[in-house]
Amino acid sequence: MAAPSKKLQDALNAQIVAEFHSAYVYLSMAAYFEAENWPGFAKWMRVQSREEVEHAMKIFDFVNDRGGRVQLGAIEKPPVRFASPLDAFRKAYEHERKITQKIHKLYDLAVQEGDYPTQVMLQWFIDEQVEEEKITSEAVARLERAGDHPHALLMLDRRFGKREE
C-alpha cells in the first residue's frame, strides 16, 4: 500500500497540529482553573489535554506506518483568559465542534483520494468527536444549572476531579 497522497499527507499533518493545539487549549484552561482554585476542573482539563496528545500521536503513527512523512507545524496560541468555569467549558465545546468539522473534511478528502486505510483510521475520530461534543456540552449544561451557587459549583468541581487519568 502506497503512502497517502501528498495532499492527504498535508491534511493529516495539519490535523496532528490541530490535535496538539487542542492539548494546548485544554492545558491553558487547566492553568486558569489552577489559578482560580478549582482543582477538580483543573484535573479534568489536564486529563483532556493528555488525551489530545494521544489523538495527535495516533495520526503521527498512522502517517509513519503508511510510509508517509510527518511534518510538524507551529501551534497557535491558545485562549488564556476565561470569565468563569462556564465560559471555559463553553469555549471547550465550541472548540470541539470546530475539531469535528476538521475531521469530517479530512474524511471527505480521504474519500476523494480513494484512500481506504485513512478512512478507516478516521472512523475512530468520527466516533471520538461524538463523545467529545457530548462530554463538553454536558459540562456546559451542568455549569449552567449550577449558575452562581457556590455550593453547586464546589460539588461540580469535586465531581469533575474524579475523572480518570
Query: Residues interacting with ligand FEO, by CB under 6 A?
Result: 19, 22, 52, 55, 96, 99, 132
Kindly state the cell numbers that stand for 101: 468539522
Q: How far is the CB of 62 from ligand FEO (least distance, A)?
A: 14
Q: Which is nearer to ligand FEO, 98 or 149 (CB)?
A: 98
Q: Which is nearer to ligand FEO, 22 or 118 (CB)?
A: 22
Cβ atoms within 10 A of the Cβ of 129, count?
A: 18
Given phi > 0 = left and psi -120 to 50 = alpha, else beta, which region is 102?
alpha
Q: Which is nearer to ligand FEO, 139 or 146 (CB)?
A: 139
Q: How far is the CB of 100 from ligand FEO (least distance, A)?
A: 8
Q: Which is nearer to ligand FEO, 22 or 28 (CB)?
A: 22
Q: How far is the CB of 37 from ligand FEO (least distance, A)?
A: 25
CB-based contacts of 65-69 (< 8 A; 24+ apart in sequence): 66/1, 66/3, 66/4, 66/117, 67/2, 67/3, 68/3, 68/4, 68/9, 68/12, 69/3, 69/9
Q: How far is the CB of 7 from ligand FEO (least distance, A)?
A: 22
How many residues appear in the chain? 165
